[in-house]
Structure 1
């Protein structure tokens, strides 16, 4: 992470919780300090769970806060503390450091971690496309025509080792280049990424909504590769790509199946609610700061991203294999046992 978290959001059954502070994590360090001890209890009283999410205000991670606003954590009988950081790999590091119980990030982290001897699994799959766009600066529109032209560019990513980093690497390699032929620069998302584009610190970026729409609205960048829609993802990645998920260590899942089931109940209920309500109704449930000062633009972006979400939280058949194929073009994931990277057991039991 390299910096203190931007915001603490509370997903608690109407209760206040102590602030959790995680500092000191970076792409090469998994140390962290917390002022709130991790105290999951599945045998006595209401279980308490901490989940770090790689950007709560991003539409791709919408279900986490929405479940709180709808009261579904409370209904499921679980107290959830949501902790925000700017990138998915920060959540990964906090999970491995034992500072949080779960991570809200992309499914691809489960494969990457298994190559490092760490076993984590997605217990709820919330989206089957990345919801990301490879944006190129307008000033380079006449220069960048094909993926091969990404060579030599500085591409903004949320963090080194993040899913945006992996998707950037794949597109560079797909263009016939080596992964080392571009420079990934950690710039987060939102205003920090926009400033990096304005100041020409980056030539392109892999980002999601609402940042992508803000870049277009400010005439700073355009969509070069669409990994936001199902059609675009099929074209860019050769199939669907499991993205937003709740993943936890295999050991935690085995030790606390009742807690995991409560979380699955809350998230599947949230996904179903999203599928039956309008973008306007969804936006009205969210904190005002999520709109980044432009609610109409946020709703417009939300309309474009809602199709990415699953309605049942299940990992679709064949999708883990496609994720593995994508990552294998630049990562040593060939020997990953996919059966240990996800489970549908809990979402299958949701009624």
Structure 2
């Protein structure tokens, strides 16, 4: 009896061990609005099956504002965030070490739109005294808005940042005059331009336009994680890097139409042609290999230092805000 029980116990343990060995690595990633084209690699990697190919079970959660996604990661609710790299710099100033492990883009893909109810607004300086839409307070859209206003000679106290999200909520805020201008991404940009309700004031959808507005290449969308989690889960991080580098190569070698066909239909918001055109015009913002663009972190630090009391006077070690180790080792 004892022998049979021992054999059964051994068989169960062996089966459990074998099952565990083949179980997919479970990772939860919060995306700061996964219908936004700037964060397209997250949903595309899932759609192409690249996570599964790496033995990963990735759950993508949606959060309208990057700052809220960042807070969920710091609380341990999610393991990673698809959001802007600038949070890695901002958080280090607060004593929290977070790093970009795959750099998706080298330009923000953002635009400052102004309502056509205000034809006299010709520059950021003209927005003094106005309500400016951002996805969330403390978000990257808020960072960029504050920098552009201060650069134009407007004090932070002389305008109001209003958190309005993106998509329908941003559009409604502009239609109802709750905001007179705002920072947003595709496909929201194209929707407001198409109806003639807004026009572009500052364009940061390409590397060239970004250099003109911000003084250099501005690494934006990325997969970032806490340094502590990366160190404890290196094999899983490598698998994520493998999947995302493959995805970036797919974006680099396929047409906007091919890419759009892999995305959920509701992302088109009833206008597939507009979605494809916006993607064709903007997909050069994505890196081809996930590597941090040279000089990019320095631009981000300069931008944040331009307005943020949190950053000014702090010693920031940029080498700890990103790593290229995993993307360079990607298959």
Q: TM-score of the superposition, structure 1-length normalised?
A: 0.86
The more displaced of 333-342 and 184-193 is: 333-342
Q: How far off its partner does 1:147 sit?
A: 2.4
Q: Secondary structure at the match of 1:122?
A: strand
- Hey, what does 1:340 align to over in structure 2? 320
Q: Deviations over 1:117-150 (max 9, x none)?
A: 11100000000100000001111122x1222212
Q: Deviations over 1:171-212 (max 9, x none)?
A: 110111112221000100001100011000000010000000
Is 1:88 the counterpart of 2:34? The answer is no
Instruction: Extract structure 1 runs of 4+ deviating beyond 3 A.
Output: none
Question: For 1:145 and 1:197, how far apart are their aligned partners in 2?
Answer: 17
Question: For 1:316 and 1:229, how far apart are their aligned partners in 2?
Answer: 14
Is 1:168 the counterpart of 2:145? The answer is yes
Among 88, 109, 126, the alignment partner of 2:104 is: 126
Q: Secondary structure at the match of 2:117?
A: helix
* Residues 214-229 of structure 1 aligned to structure 2 (within 5 Å): 214-229=191-206
- Hey, what does 2:92 align to over in structure 1? 114
- Hey, what does 2:288 align to over in structure 1? 311
Question: For 1:191 and 1:344, how far apart are their aligned partners in 2?
Answer: 36
Q: How far off its partner does 1:114 sit?
A: 1.0
- Hey, what does 2:8 align to over in structure 1? none
- Hey, what does 1:213 align to over in structure 2? 190
Question: For 1:114 and 1:128, how far apart are their aligned partners in 2?
Answer: 21
Q: How many residues align?
A: 309
Question: For 2:109 and 2:50, how far apart are their aligned partners in 1?
Answer: 24
Q: What residue ranges of structure 2 are gaps of 5+ in the alignment?
A: 1-19
Q: What residue ranges of structure 1 are gaps of 5+ in the alignment?
A: 1-41
Question: For 2:273 and 2:22, how far apart are their aligned partners in 1?
Answer: 45
Q: RCO (CA 8 Å, sep 6+): is it higher in 1 or 2?
A: 2
Q: Secondary structure at the match of 2:29?
A: strand
Question: For 2:30 and 2:76, how far apart are their aligned partners in 1?
Answer: 11
- Hey, what does 2:262 align to over in structure 1? 285
Q: RMSD over aligned Cα, in angstroms?
A: 1.1
Q: Secondary structure at the match of 2:189?
A: helix
Distance 1:140 1:116, change over 3 A: same
Q: How far off its partner does 1:44 sit?
A: 7.1
Question: For 1:181 and 1:303, how far apart are their aligned partners in 2?
Answer: 37
Q: How far off its partner does 1:77 sit?
A: 1.3
Identify, as 1 or 2, the structure richer in helix: 2
Among 231, 234, 255, the alignment partner of 1:257 is: 234
User: Highest CA radius of gyration, 1 or 2?
Assistant: 2
Q: How far off its partner does 1:286 sit?
A: 0.6
- Hey, what does 1:350 align to over in structure 2? 330
- Hey, what does 2:166 align to over in structure 1? 189
Is 1:138 the counterpart of 2:96? The answer is no
Q: Secondary structure at the match of 1:92?
A: helix
Q: How far off its partner does 1:43 sit?
A: 7.5
Question: For 2:164 and 2:90, how far apart are their aligned partners in 1?
Answer: 22
Question: For 1:151 and 1:329, how far apart are their aligned partners in 2?
Answer: 18
Among 33, 39, 59, the alignment partner of 1:55 is: 33
Question: For 2:133 and 2:163, how far apart are their aligned partners in 1?
Answer: 6
* Residues 21-40 of structure 1 aligned to structure 2 (within 5 Å): none
Question: For 1:165 and 1:147, how far apart are their aligned partners in 2?
Answer: 14
Question: For 2:140 and 2:114, how far apart are their aligned partners in 1?
Answer: 18
Q: Secondary structure at the match of 2:113?
A: strand
Q: Secondary structure at the match of 1:93?
A: helix
